[in-house]
Structure 1
Amino acid sequence: MTGRHLRSLPVLDRRHEDGDGTDLPAPWPLALVDERTKTIERGYGPLFHRTFTVRAVDARHGATDLIEVLSRDLDRGAPPHVVTFARERGEPGRMLVGDEYRVYMPAPWDGPVRVLARTEQSFRFGTLDGHLEAGEIEFRATDAGAGIVDFTIEVWSRAGDRAAEVLYGRLGVGREVQASLWVQFCLGAVELVEGRREGHVREITRRVPVRELDGR
């Protein structure tokens, strides 16, 4: 059912490619690594490097405005009644490195994350113990011209345990649920900048085999 729903959404160039060592995410900042950290080294199976991108034209707000709005309330970009970002550490109304959230998604895909990086035009999360995945996700926006904003969600993820590997890696159920969510989040970003979507949401998924992850 999720697959049928995803195919009905405006996705263009939904490409699947072979990945390699260049697809690996940046290491966690050492100051943020502790006993709860769940980096890709603690995952199972292949790594999936995915990007979801959309362009808004005739936008009334720019990239910095968009990221500021999302950093204050992530639910502003999320499809209602599908996903919720609940703050578990940090002050309401702003996002700082080290803050923590719990992402509630269609069961059983929710889990805790920590803010690894925050700039005027991006923020990045890393997964913590209790998350069904091991990896990172970055939300970023770029001004591509007058009234033009490019918004991207970039994901690096592996199954968090052996049971999740079956659903996430082999059957692909978890990836389809997430793809549907992030496509809708991209559409929400276009609404937040009060622009008009140019073309379709573009998705690229690169599968990195386990042998490329050795030593990570």
Structure 2
Amino acid sequence: MWPAGILITSWTYLWRTVPLHRRELEGRWEDDAPPPLPPGTPLDEVQFPQDGSGPLFHRRYRARIREAHMDAPETMRRVRADLNAVAPSSLARFQKVMGDEDGPLEAGDEYVVRMPGPWDGPVRVVEADEHGFRFVTLDGHLEAGQIAWRTGDAPDGMLVFEIESWARPGDPVSALVHHRLRMAKEVQLHMWTSVCEKVTRLSGGRLTGGVDIETRVVEEG
């Protein structure tokens, strides 16, 4: 049975007014596999895609922001200083459990993403620079794979913010909830699109054209 908090929160986010442009395509492992982890990354407790169950989902959320008051590096500096400034508090809170508690996000830090119900997700930062950072999921996470946040300055003067993930459900139960029943997928979608909206507000700009969401599904083969 679904915890009431998840159902209510998910329903609330269905009423958002920002346009979401969603498409789901067939993917291929050679095109959609996660990038290699940086040399020297600690591998203890890492959940690789092969540790998961069901299809691999390669997903990208993209927001184009006009009239931003900050460029891409400054926006990312602000995001790394406090992930909870752009996280939807009703859906997720980032708690740093390894690294400088009061410092910005850095490679080697570990977080637990606190979510309603049995959804807490431990992650490790495997790289971080002025344009973004990348997490790998750890044992106990709902997914097995990686997720990256990044910013960029487009040639047309727009600020671009993206969240890109490469992951399979962490176990057969997660695969059922995510891929078949789709509840976890919808909660996740509204969480990351909310981050896109909050980064837009943080930058002082205006979201242009809604949030573009592309999912490439690599079926088990």
Give the TM-score normalised by structure 2: 0.89
Shift of 1:102: 0.4
Question: Structure 1, residues 101-123: CA drift from partner, whole Å, max 9, x if none?
Answer: 00012323221000011121010
What's 2:24 paired with?
A: 16
How many equivalent residue pairs?
211
Question: Structure 1, residues 100-146: CA drift from partner, whole Å, max 9, x if none?
Answer: 00001232322100001112101000000111210111000001157
Partner Cα distance (1:9, 1:176) in 2: 16
- Residue identity (%): 38
Match of 2:181 among 166, 171, 176: 171
Shift of 1:63: 0.8
Gaps of 5+ in 2: 1-6
**Structure with higher strand content:** 1
Kept in 2: contact 1:78–1:84 (CA 8 A): yes
Shift of 1:7: 6.3
Shift of 1:27: 2.0
Kept in 1: contact 2:111–2:122 (CA 8 A): yes
Q: How does 1:1-216 map to 2 (within 5 A)?
A: 2=10, 5-6=13-14, 8-21=16-29, 22-91=31-100, 92-145=102-155, 148-211=158-221
Partner Cα distance (1:165, 1:26) in 2: 22
Partner Cα distance (2:55, 2:17) in 1: 26
Kept in 2: contact 1:62–1:147 (CA 8 A): no
Kept in 1: contact 2:84–2:93 (CA 8 A): yes
> Relative to 1, partners in 2 of residues 1:6 and 1:149: Cα closer, same or farther, differing over 3 Å?
same
Shift of 1:32: 1.9
Single out whichever of 25-34 and 5-14 deviates more from structure 2: 5-14
Query: Match of 1:190, SS?
Result: helix
Query: Match of 2:88, SS?
Result: coil
What's 1:214 paired with?
A: none
Letter in 1 for 2:128: R
Single out whichever of 103-112 and 1-10 deviates more from structure 2: 1-10
Kept in 1: contact 2:133–2:150 (CA 8 A): yes
Shift of 1:157: 1.5
Shift of 1:147: 5.3
Kept in 1: contact 2:19–2:209 (CA 8 A): no
Letter in 2 for 1:150: V
Partner Cα distance (1:7, 1:50) in 2: 22
Single out whichever of 187-196 and 33-42 deviates more from structure 2: 33-42
Partner Cα distance (1:187, 1:67) in 2: 14
Letter in 1 for 2:87: A
Single out whichever of 55-64 and 89-98 deviates more from structure 2: 89-98
Kept in 2: contact 1:61–1:147 (CA 8 A): no
Query: Match of 1:15, SS?
Result: strand
Give the TM-score normalised by structure 1: 0.91
